[in-house]
Amino acid sequence: MDVFLHFFEAKSPGKNLWVNFSGIAGRIILTLFQQSCKGFRGKFFRVCNSEADPTALDGFPLYWVGELKLKKAKTLDELSSADREVCQILASLGVVFNTAE
């Protein structure tokens, strides 16, 4: 989760019910969608903790909450050495993965 939060941060949903994630300037690893993804509400994906880190999703409620506490992007200094290494490897690839593919 911390590696993900190095490259992305959650944006306030405002009046919407959906939380948006946006990339962090200078840490781009995915291309942006050029148009809205219509029909996404009929699809879903599973989010779960792993046994290796049962606290990985702390702060990301998987149920309805009255007040959402958004997680901000993390700098390299805020990451564990293992997560820092993964982020550095991803950044050093010099590849931006195409989300459309």
Tens digit of pLDDT per residue, the chain (101 long)? 788 888 888 777 667 666 677 788 888 887 765 555 666 666 655 566 677 777 777 666 666 666 666 677 889 999 999 999 999 998 888 888 777 67
- Residue range of the domain that includes 73: 2-92
Residues 6+ positions from 21 with CB-CB distance below 8 Å: 8, 9, 10, 11
Residue 41 lies in a domain: yes
Residue 100 lies in a domain: no
23 and 7 in contact (C-beta within 8 Å)? yes
State the pLDDT at residue 23.
80
Residue 101 lies in a domain: no
State the pLDDT at residue 84.
94
Distance CA 66, CA 71 (A): 16
pTM (predicted TM-score): 0.61
The total number of structural domains that make up the chain: 1
